[in-house]
Amino acid sequence: MTNKPRINLLNLDGDRLASFIAGLDEKPFRAKQLMRWIHQRGVSDVDQMSDLAKTFRTQLQDLVEIKSLPVISDQTASDGTRKWLLDVGEGNAVEMVYIPEEDRGTLCISSQAGCAVNCRFCSTGKQGFSRNLTAAEIIGQLWYAEHHLRNDPKAIKRVDAYDKTTLAHEEGRVISNVVMMGMGEPLLNYEPVLSAMKLMLDDNAYGLSRRRVTLSTSGVVPFIDRLSQDLPVALAVSLHAANDALRNELVPINRKYPLAVLLDSCKRYLEFAPRDFLTFEYCMLDGVNDSDKQAHELIQLLKSIKCKVNLIPFNPFADSGLKQSPKSRIDQFAKILLDAKMVTTVRKTRGDDIDAACGQLAGEVQDRTNLAQREIRWMEKN
């Protein structure tokens, strides 16, 4: 038996797995067989992969493992939303959320332990940043949730999701949509996120369409451009303000990539996007960004780009210093946008009784950015 660390096959997308198999002098179709066993059937024991030669299975047992993140806790909200807390080691934990609906099952995935962007309305950012997740830790969230939920009688199963000739024993896929909207800024962990999304789209793995995989970003412009060339999935941009002065306060990365630069990159991305529009997310903060004037300002800002605006009622958390806009104010803000023929939705709050709603994911993170100390020094100077 080798003393080298085992290779976690969840870390390998289709191309990397094919290279690994080639290095073992095995035929290329073995890679597809492995992917189907791992991602479509959820098998983690190589010995159970019955259509692989026994000698090959024995070889793999000495070299590889199929391992996702350990689950610390599993909570279900009154509306059926489910949240898992996952151990990523060294005192750090991340969260993922499953949102069941009649026509879809959406999984919200984390990409980092903590977040360095530090948006004012997001509880994750208040913890600071510990580390990036690996591709295995990212796709492992989907791997665990998909196969765990198949045993849940309340989960909706889509029987047309898979080829029955290869998965005759399966009742169908549970998760139909994935959103990279959990803890972290996905584009600041680019390569592992890219590798994980390739598996989401691979027909030998999860077979999701690009329209059903959404990446949400605070606006890391160079990587928006890279993503448009590497793997253009649905894109959601965390906007939250229609002018640079306010967005500098709410989304600090705007100081590096101001709105004009960000919107130019969005227009470039739209040329390659799987949909003919982009989504802009706008968290409704009482007395901060929710006035009629700011609604008209938003219309002017976005008038030259085909888009949908998703208004998100703020989900309060301790020490945020912010309040959710009243429903009447959100409705009025939405009406102004709709009257201007702008496609607008108000996100339904899900899972807020278990802190699983948008902006509430916090996990447990040992801050390597010393965020708390930096904030104290800043307050002392000001």
Dump pLDDT digits (tens) for 38-97. Answer: 999 999 999 999 999 999 999 999 999 999 999 999 998 888 889 999 999 988 999 999
More confident: 359 or 273: 273
Q: Which residues, listed in sequence order, are joined to residue 345 by a DSSP beta bridge? A: 310
**Residue 157 and residue 110 in contact, taking contact as beta carbons nearer than 8 Å:** no
The predicted pLDDT at position 151 comes to 82
Q: pTM higher than 0.85 for the full model?
A: yes
> Residue 353: its pLDDT value, please?
56
Maximum mean pLDDT: which of 87-91, 102-106, 282-286 = 282-286
Cα–Cα distance, 374 to 367 (Å, whole number): 11
| Segment 297-322 mean pLDDT | 92
Region 11-17 average pLDDT: 97
pLDDT at residue 369 in the model: 57
Strands (E), the chain: 7-8, 64-65, 71-76, 82-89, 92-100, 105-108, 112-114, 129-132, 177-180, 213-217, 234-238, 278-284, 307-313, 343-346
Predicted local distance difference test score (pLDDT) of residue 78: 84
* Tokens linked to 36: 């189907």
Helix/strand/coil (H/E/C) assignment for every residue in 166-196: CCCCCCCECCCEEEECCCCCHHHHHHHHHHH
- The per-residue pLDDT for 266 is 98
Residue 291 to residue 284: CA distance in whole angstroms: 10
Q: Are 69 and 87 in contact (CB under 8 A)?
A: yes
Q: Which single residue is written with the structure tokens 């009025």?
A: 332
Across residues 263-275, what is the average pLDDT? 97
Provide the percentage of residues in the chain whose pLDDT is more than 90.
72
Query: In this predicted structure, what is the pLDDT of residue 298?
Result: 98
Question: Which entry of 115, 119, 122, 358 is annotated as an active-site residue?
Answer: 358
More confident residue, 233 or 154: 233
Sign (positive or negative) of CA dihedral 129, 130, 136, 140 = negative
Amino acid letter, 202: D
- CA–CA separation, 360 and 357 (whole Å): 6
Q: Which of 334, 314, 333 is nearest to 324 (CA)?
A: 314
Cβ neighbors of 201 (< 8 A, separation 6 or more) are 207, 208, 209, 210, 213, 231, 233
The CA-to-CA distance between both ends of the chain, in Å, stands at 61
Residue with tokens 């919107």: 263
Q: What is the pLDDT of residues 210-225, one digit of tens each?
A: 999 999 999 999 999 9
Confidence (pLDDT) at 271: 97
Q: What is the pLDDT of residue 348?
A: 80
On the 0-12 / 13-18 / 19+ scale of CB atoms within 10 A, 38 is buried
**Residue 131, Ramachandran bin (φ over 0: left; ψ between -120 and 50: alpha; else beta):** beta
pLDDT of residue 355 exceeding 90: no
Question: What pLDDT, on the 0 to 100 scale, is given for residue 2?
Answer: 47
What is each CA distance from 271 to 37, 264, 278, 344, 380, in whole angstroms? 36, 12, 11, 22, 47
- pLDDT value, residue 127: 77
Determine whether 281 is an active site residue: no
pLDDT in tens, 176-195: 999 999 999 999 999 999 99
Say which residues have a Cβ less than 8 Å from residue 27's Cβ, sequence separation at least 6: 21
Mean pLDDT of the chain: 88
Strand partners, 215: 180, 235
Q: Is the pLDDT of residue 320 over 90?
A: no
Q: How many helices and strands (H and E) does the chain possess?
A: 11, 14
DSSP state, residue 128:
-
| Better pLDDT: 23 or 366 | 23
DSSP reduced 3-state for 89: strand
Q: Which helix (H) or strand (E) holds 52?
A: none
Going by pLDDT thresholds of 50, 70 and 90, the confidence category of residue 168 is: very low
Q: Is 358 a catalytic residue?
A: yes
Catalytic residue, candidates 95, 137, 146, 185: 95
**Which position has the higher pLDDT, 36 or 377?**
36
Rounded to whole angstroms, how far apart are CA atoms 363 and 114?
Answer: 8
**Whole-number pLDDT of residue 350:** 58
